[in-house]
């Protein structure tokens, strides 16, 4: 009844693509904002920080209305919105970590002939590994368990994520708690497995981040 494999595949697709986009673009944005310090960079960074204070419910209806006009109430639209909502915190975390990386590394890479993109991708991005793991974990837990945004965007047959499919066990007149709880247990198993596999790296990243 849960159609677990299809729902699991949709959750994996949305989570992996969203997190990959968030990590790549927010790390580049944070590095560029920190390295080109000025009035404009400070204003842009503060806009990202302030946006974290705006609750989703305040922009929920206008956002869905605009995305409907743009014909983006679908899986790509959902991923695009996750990218938007996940950018502020990710940029904030990356921006703080980039401060600890000496600017001399950038200059040395430029002298050796690296372009700006090569400098970031081959020199800076590997050094951001502790923060990257933190960003991945925070966004994975949020996106994997999110119900409200997918229910507004992709609540159609064949495109539901696991939280949406689990909700179908709660009807207007009956609540199938046995099936719902079984579905919820199956839902959290992938996250538990991910943590068990990556727990050493997670602890190491937190330790390195605290030293930085």
Instruction: To the nearest 10°, report the CA torsion of 51, 38, 30, 62.
Output: 20
Q: Please check whether residue 146 is in contact with residue 138, taking contact to mean a CB–CB distance below 8 angstroms.
A: no
Handedness of CA 108, 109, 114, 119 (dihedral sign): negative
Between CA 111 and CA 210 the distance in angstroms is 31
pLDDT level of residue 206 (50, 70, 90 thresholds): low
**In the predicted model, what is the mean pLDDT of residues 94-121?**
89
Between CA 161 and CA 13 the distance in angstroms is 9
Give Cα separations from 200 to 98, 204, 205, 207 (angstroms): 23, 6, 9, 11
Q: Please check whether residue 81 is in contact with residue 63, taking contact to mean a CB–CB distance below 8 angstroms.
A: yes
- What is the model's pLDDT at position 131? 87
Lowest mean pLDDT among 52-66, 68-82, 122-136, 151-165: 151-165
Q: Which of 75-79, 151-155, 163-167 has the highest mean pLDDT?
A: 75-79
- What is the model's pLDDT at position 212? 47
Backbone angles phi, psi at 136, to 5 degrees: -65, -45
- At 90, list the tokens: 């990710």
Place of tokens 């001399």: 104
| Mean of all residue pLDDT scores within the chain | 86
**In the predicted model, what is the mean pLDDT of residues 146-154?**
89
Closest to 51 (Cα-Cα) out of 83, 22, 18, 89 = 89
Per-residue model confidence as pLDDT tens digits over 84-96: 999 999 999 999 8
Query: How many C-beta atoms lie closer than 10 Å to residue 125's C-beta?
Result: 16
SS3 (DSSP) at 73: coil
Per-residue model confidence as pLDDT tens digits over 160-178: 888 888 877 776 667 778 8
Judged against a pLDDT cut of 90, whether residue 125 lies above it is answered with yes
Judged against a pLDDT cut of 90, whether residue 23 lies above it is answered with yes
Rounded to 5 degrees, what angle do the CA atoms 189, 191, 195 make?
A: 115
End-to-end CA gap in the chain: 48
Per-residue model confidence as pLDDT tens digits over 52-67: 988 888 898 899 899 9
């Amino acid at each position: 009844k849960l159609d677990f494999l299809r729902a699991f595949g949709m959750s994996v697709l949305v989570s992996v693509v969203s997190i990959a986009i968030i990590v790549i673009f927010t790390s580049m944005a944070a590095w560029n904002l920190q390295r080109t310090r000025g009035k404009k960079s400070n204003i842009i960074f503060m806009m990202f920080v302030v946006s974290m204070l705006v609750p989703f419910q305040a922009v929920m209806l206008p956002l869905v209305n605009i995305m409907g006009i743009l014909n983006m109430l679908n899986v790509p639209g959902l991923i695009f919105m996750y990218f938007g909502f996940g950018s502020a915190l990710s940029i904030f975390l990356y921006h703080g970590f980039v401060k600890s990386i000496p600017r001399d590394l950038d200059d040395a890479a430029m002298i050796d002939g690296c372009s700006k993109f090569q400098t970031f991708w081959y020199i800076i991005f590997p050094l951001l590994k502790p923060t990257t793991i933190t960003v991945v974990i925070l966004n994975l837990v949020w996106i994997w368990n999110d119900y409200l945004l997918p229910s507004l965007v992709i609540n159609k047959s064949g495109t539901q994520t696991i939280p949406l499919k689990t909700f179908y066990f709660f009807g207007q007149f009956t609540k199938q708690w046995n099936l719902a709880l079984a579905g919820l247990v199956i839902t959290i198993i992938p996250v538990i497995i991910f943590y068990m596999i990556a727990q050493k790296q997670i602890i190491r990243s937190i330790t390195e981040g605290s030293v930085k």
